[in-house]
Amino acid sequence: MNIFPSTDQKLNPFQFYSMMRQSNPVAHDDKNDLWGIFRYYDVQSILGDYTHFSSNPPNLNNNKTLAEEKRQIPFTRPSLLKSDPPYHRTLRGVIASAFTPMAINKLEARIEKVTHHFINQVIEKGHMDLIADLAYPLPVTVIAELLGVPVEDRNLFHSWADKLVSSAGGELNDDHGSTKNLILIQTEMDDYFSAIIDKRTEKPQQDLISDLIKAEADGNHLSREEILAFCTLILLAGHVTTVNLIGNAILSLLQNPQQLKLLKEDTSHSLIPSAIEETLRYRSPVQAVFRITNGAVKVGEQTIQTGQGVVVWLGSANHDESVFPDPETFDISRAPLGHSHMAFGQGIHFCLGAPLARLEGRIVLRTIIERLKDLELDDKNDGKGDDSTPIIKPLPSLFFHGVSQLPLRFKPAAQRKLDSI
């Protein structure tokens, strides 16, 4: 049984999830030898049980040198996503000390300025591709500044993010040389960030890499390998989550015009936070996470044996009708349920960058509502559509959910005067 939505279901996998929750909530994929978990409470239980469901990748061959392992299996260093306690607890403690919500909130004015800068580049034209013109470059710029990447190197940073997204989350095979591509990207990133680590060790600056070098928890400092792993993690996980959140929010609002009308009429912007939370629930930027069983364990009516791969479907859990009334309706006025959606995971692996993604999402949504009048999907820019068929391209990924292109049109207006970013 296939536990993955088909290609033509990538943009709207919700009917597939509903079918699986009803008929095969704990399903085995014979072709890939993986288990798929689809119901909310099963997903919640697994995310909270690191004893039986490990985030560690399988042990590498002890006969190989570290260099050989890295060449053959890229991006397998222990990191926040790929570790269990007690190591995970120590690692998160060190990183959290340099990545607090208070520190993120101080970025609000800067994020607003960068957002207005990118809107200025398109507002006089009256059309844009939301992803290429705003949703993609904004988080890359913010993360680059957080890490302390020099201004002149941000195009390189942007390029790595693009390559990682296109290489990660594709089909479960290596027919197109994705492993080789990832090895090359890892080598480039390691060389680049190692040089920055050397400079920041000698002369610290006001940036996250400097903070990570000097931070400690329980008397422990991060090693160079751990800092390199974090740089990769924040680039991929932090960037992709925010890009998809922004794109998914605007797509969902335009596909539900009454909800967009509510947001426009809300002059106090009090509905923007709930619109972001409903987007996270309805179109979760990360649809699934991966775990490996540490022992035989029962989930629902099925027993999963030791060493089995488990795909935990966050996107399905967030549409579970036993938790969310009328789950297939996008409703920005939905009564809050204690942030019970699991778009950012749960338990010890709850996304450390969630406050940053939420902040960027709220700022972008508010800015678009305020500045882009008569906003609608644009079906004419690339000449491939007609008046009734907007061109929307889903992200080609197994685990990430969003669009790689979202053309918009709006009423042209004057730029807002800003100092250079």
Greater confidence, 69 or 354? 354
Mean pLDDT of 98-106: 77
Flag whether 318 is in a domain. no
Choose among 153, 149, 145: nearest CA to 356: 145
Q: Could you tell me the CA-to-CA distances from 193 to 93, 118, 212, 309 in Å, in that order?
A: 22, 27, 13, 32
> What is the domain count for the chain?
1
Mean pLDDT of 109-118: 95
Radius of gyration of the chain (CA): 22
Choose among 264, 200, 258: nearest CA to 231: 200
By the 10 Å C-beta count (0-12 exposed, 13-18 middle, 19+ buried), 223 is classed as exposed
Residue entry with tokens 């939420």: 358
Q: Could you tell me the CA-to-CA distances from 246 to 134, 240, 304, 334 in Å, in that order?
A: 9, 10, 37, 19
Domain membership of residue 143 as a residue range: 65-287+347-409
pLDDT higher than threshold 80 for residue 219: no
Greater confidence, 113 or 166? 113
pLDDT higher than threshold 50 for residue 121: yes
Flag whether 175 is in a domain. yes
CB atoms within 10 A of CB 419: 6
Q: Which amino acid is at 292?
A: I
pLDDT higher than threshold 90 for residue 297: yes
Flag whether 23 is in a domain. no
Choose among 59, 343, 70: nearest CA to 229: 70
Q: pLDDT-derived band of residue 67, with 50, 70 and 90 as boundaries? A: very low
- What pLDDT is recorded for position 78? 67
Flag whether 25 is in a domain. no
Mean pLDDT of 240-254: 95
From CA 223, how far away is CA 265, in angstroms rounded? 51
Flag whether 394 is in a domain. yes
pLDDT higher than threshold 70 for residue 70: no
- What pLDDT is recorded for position 68? 42
Q: pLDDT-derived band of residue 296, with 50, 70 and 90 as boundaries? A: very high
Flag whether 279 is in a domain. yes
| b/e sequence 166-188, b meaning 16+ C-beta within 10 Å | ebbbbeeeeeeebeebbbebbee
Out of 159-173, 255-269, 313-327, 370-384, which region has the weakest mean confidence (pLDDT)? 159-173
For 315-354, the pLDDT digits (tens) are 999 999 999 999 999 999 987 755 589 999 988 888 888 8
1 CA to centre of own chain: 27
- What pLDDT is recorded for position 49? 94
- Cα 364–Cα 168–Cα 5 angle in degrees, nearest 5: 85
Q: Which of 16-30, 94-108, 182-196 has the highest mean pLDDT?
A: 16-30
Choose among 114, 103, 136: nearest CA to 212: 103
- What pLDDT is recorded for position 258? 97
pLDDT higher than threshold 50 for residue 72: no
Greater confidence, 28 or 154? 28
Q: Which amino acid is at 101?
A: P
Give the side-chain half-sphere CA count within 13 A for 242. 32
Mean pLDDT of 224-237: 84
For 363-414, the pLDDT digits (tens) are 999 999 999 999 999 976 544 444 555 578 888 788 889 998 999 999 999 8
Domain holding 373: CATH number? 1.10.630.10
Query: pTM of the entire structure?
Result: 0.89
From CA 161, how far away is CA 141, in angstroms rounded? 11
Flag whether 70 is in a domain. yes
- What pLDDT is recorded for position 74? 53
Flag whether 164 is in a domain. yes
